[in-house]
Structure 1
Amino acid sequence: MTRDLPVLVVDGTWFDDLDGFAREVSRLLTGYTWRGNLDALNDVLRGGYGTPDGGWVLRWVASDRSRATLGHAAAARRLERLLLSVHASNRAAVEARLAAARRGEGPTLFDEIVAVVREHGPGGREAADGVVLELA
């Protein structure tokens, strides 16, 4: 039951971009700083990077505000940064995602973050990690 799990709270009023979200998440971690890479967020959610053992709740308050601030423009900024270091074999795919984000299409940055977190909770491929996302 989620009521027995530790609750870590991310407050959407405290950030306006991915870097701010990363700072907010890092504030919750013990002995680790997450720098905003979504692949690394997967690792954090698997455990061993300062999150509670045995499952936990990630309660994202003011998530509607985050949904707006981490929209398509934020997704485009992230993809622009990713293009600087992406492997040549992935470049075309990232460019296509960037073009879609610039048109206001495809997943927003908020959508991508939520999808990563949900993979580690009920119904996700890595549900054994026991991370429950609550959008409030």
Structure 2
Amino acid sequence: MTVTYVIDGAEVTDLDRFWQVIGAAVNGPGGYFGRNLDALADCLRGGCGTPDDGDFVIEWRRHDLSRRALGQEETVRTLQRRLERAHPDNKAAIQAELDDVLAGRGPTVFDELVQLIEEEAPGVLRLG
């Protein structure tokens, strides 16, 4: 039997809130389902609250609201935070990514989340 986890796009106001919303959708209030892209990828592979057989769907309702909230402005904010904490060897690559986003090029945080979910758990994501 397929388990459906619902994300209400109206609740996703920034990336930090996304982590809270998806954690609650999968594991109940205060639940965890990643706090960064690598952790989300691990969770999507199983063992973090989803069924052992992998039979689940993430239904992202009103995703258009999340797309706006996780758009260019949030992507810039996220990259600036990454740049502040980055190892010196990684700063140039993050700065280049930030420069692209500031110029209106490259994926947004929303795009990265959708791509990651589709890569790690093909067919699981339903945008509505």
- Specify if TM > 0.5: yes
After TM superposition, the structure 1 stretch with the greater mean CA deviation from structure 2, 6-15 or 77-86, is 77-86
Match of residue 115 from structure 1:
115
Q: 5+ residue gaps in structure 1?
A: 123-130
Is residue 135 from structure 1 mapped to residue 127 from structure 2 by the alignment? yes
Percent identity over the alignment is: 42
Q: Distance in 1 between the 2:100 and 2:26 partners? A: 33
Deviations 1:76-127 (A, max 9, x none): 11111111222222211111111111222110111000011001233xxxxx
The normalised TM-score by structure 2 is 0.88
Match of residue 57 from structure 2:
57
Q: Distance in 2 between the 1:19 and 1:35 partners? A: 11
Match of residue 9 from structure 2:
12
The normalised TM-score by structure 1 is 0.83
- Is the 1:6–1:57 Cα contact (8 Å) retained in structure 2? yes
Q: 1:52, CA displacement in angstroms?
A: 2.3
- How many pairs does the alignment contain? 125
AA aligned opposite 2:74: A
Deviations 1:44-93 (A, max 9, x none): 11111222222210110001111111111111111111112222222111
1:1-136 matched pairs, under 5 angstroms: 4-30=1-27, 32-34=31-33, 36-55=35-54, 56-122=56-122, 132-136=124-128
Q: 5+ residue gaps in structure 2?
A: none
CA-atom RMSD in angstroms: 1.7
Q: 1:34, CA displacement in angstroms?
A: 4.2
Q: Distance in 2 between the 1:36 and 1:78 partners? A: 13
State the SS of the aligned residue for 1:134: strand
State the SS of the aligned residue for 1:58: strand
